[in-house]
Amino acid sequence: MKKLISLLFIIALSACQPKHNIDELDLYFKGSIAKSNRELTDVIISDIFTPPVASRIYAYPNIAAYESIRFMDSKRPSLVGQLNDLDSLTKPDKNKSYYYPLASIIAFTDVAKSLVFDSGKIEIIKNQMLKRVQEIGIDQEIYKNSVSFGETIAKEILSWASKDGYNIRTALPGFNVSDDIARWRPTPPDYMDAIEPHWNTIRPFVLDSVNQFDPGPPTAFDIDQESQFFKEAIEVYQTVINIDAEQLEIAKFWNCNPNVSQTNGHAMFFNQQISPGGHWIHITAQVLEEKKLEQIEAAAVMTQVSIAIADSFISAWDQKYKSNLIRPETYINKYIDPDWSPLLQTPAFPEHTSAHSVSSTAAASLLTRFFGENYTFIDSTEVPFGLPERSFNSFLQASQEASISRLYGGIHYRPAIELGMKQGRLVGKHVMENVDIN
């Protein structure tokens, strides 16, 4: 009788345990890396992070996500030893069972919430995910192991991130505006201080050094009307004056300036927009969803694209503050037409090179490697911001349009664009050759 009672108790206890519904769990987590990056973008936008800071925020969570899911395939290598100063990461216990897609998103969200201001939004997203996983049904031991593993990877990635120079950059000497007429100075309407003048002190992810792919200086400054520099300024001036409807649409579509400000009386507020890096993260997410890639493959692609974008901003920012070149708006107002203004608000940092050109070309190079040279897609990234979709026949076509948009918008001279594209190709190529996780 006692044996029967014990047996019935075991059966009843088993019936109370959630069913491990692997098929439904896999369906729920399919596309999760794209979804997580979209959700992270919403927080980045509302927190109004600058473009270089946003690029860093995307990279670390995606690295954590990949390192937590790669064990689904024993042949997938770690980024340990491939990324600068990433020397070791915990491996799963061979005596335990895990559901790695869950561990991956735990790692992503835990890293992400430590890098943004509004960590509460990320925590809500995480808790909603965990609740849904429990509703679907998962073995509780596997659940605990997976969550614990994801949390461990997140802590280790955050420890690595804490040593990249980000936390000490603001303690460095402030940026002094030069009296040299060739150098950058704050621009209308708010004459903001220079953004991230010490971003070149941030540790790159893959680059050997911040100046590894320095594209060279801009055209020598000159106010002579026969000089090359004056001609480059005139090109910007005339492009904006004679802008056609298509060029205007391109300029607006690729604006991607999260720090566009408006002033109402004594109050200043920002129009919230996606960053240049965020735009390409969304293109990547869209393609991952279109291709219906498996979770581990999707994580590998997103991780490499985010690394390329982050290193692009470090590379571009190094030359920006090295050359410290005057923006077209300042030059044109002083030497050509005091009443001229660009179509786009001039960002608050020096001109050369165009970081949008660098990051767009680097990201497009990676996506071309993964999905081919003639991948046709419709980019709907800007639809939430009131702009129409745009169609492209390749990623490189999109990156070229993103680059030239800076001339149409009146915020870059042509050399910053062309040399920026060259710089981006080199950064992208370097990431492809030195990050092996596919």
Domains belonging to the chain, first-starting first, are 21-164 (1.20.144), 181-434 (1.10.606.20)
Encoded tokens for 77:
């290598």
Give the residues across from 379 on adjacent strands: 390
Question: Quick check: 436 and 82 in contact, CB under 8 A?
Answer: yes
Task: Report the distance separating Cα 37 and Cα 34, nearest Å.
Answer: 5
Residue 227 CA to residue 274 CA, distance in Å, equals 37
Beta strand segments in 267-328, E:
267-270
144-148, 175-179, 250-254, 261-265: least confidently modelled range = 261-265
For residue 300, the SS3 value is helix
| Number of helices and strands in the chain (H, E) | 15, 4
Predicted pLDDT of residue 257? 85
Tokens for 269? 């507020």
Give the predicted TM-score (pTM) of the model: 0.94
Q: Which residue in this structure is represented by tokens 């849904």?
A: 132
Cβ atoms of residues 64 and 153 within 8 Å: yes
Q: Report d(CA 323, CA 351) in Å as an integer.
A: 8
Cα–Cα–Cα angle for 165, 106, 45, rounded to 5 degrees: 60
CA nearest to 37, candidates 300, 284, 376, 325: 284
Task: Indicate the residue type of 362.
Answer: A
Helix axes 100-115, 119-136, angle to 10 degrees: 170
- End-to-end C-alpha distance for the chain, whole angstroms: 59
DSSP letter at 398 equals H
Question: pLDDT-derived band of residue 222, with 50, 70 and 90 as boundaries?
Answer: very high
| The pair of three-digit structure tokens given for residue 199, joined into one six-digit string | 């971003």
So what's the pLDDT on residue 402?
98
Q: Is a pLDDT exceeding 90 seen at residue 274?
A: yes
Quickly state the pLDDT bin for 20 (edges 50, 70, 90).
confident
Best CA proximity match to 39, nearest among 281, 362, 398, 259? 281
Query: Which helix (H) or strand (E) covers residue 145, if one does?
Result: helix 140-161
| Contacting residues for 392 by C-beta, under 8 A, at least 6 apart | 376, 377, 378, 379, 398, 401
Residue 261: per-residue pLDDT: 55
Average pLDDT over residues 202-226: 97
Tokens read off for 191 = 């004459």
pLDDT of 124: 97
Query: If you average pLDDT over residues 423-434, what whole number do you get?
Result: 98
Tokens read off for 238: 């005339």
Asked whether residue 251 carries a pLDDT value surpassing 60, the answer given is: yes
Per-residue confidence (pLDDT) for residue 273, from 0 to 100: 84
What is the reported pLDDT for 11? 39
- Of 270, 240, 246, which Cα lies nearest the Cα of 257? 270
pLDDT in tens, 121-132: 999 999 999 999
Exposure string (b/e) for 217-256, b if CB count within 10 Å is 16 or more? ebbebbeeeeeebbebbeebbebbeebeeebebbbbbbbb
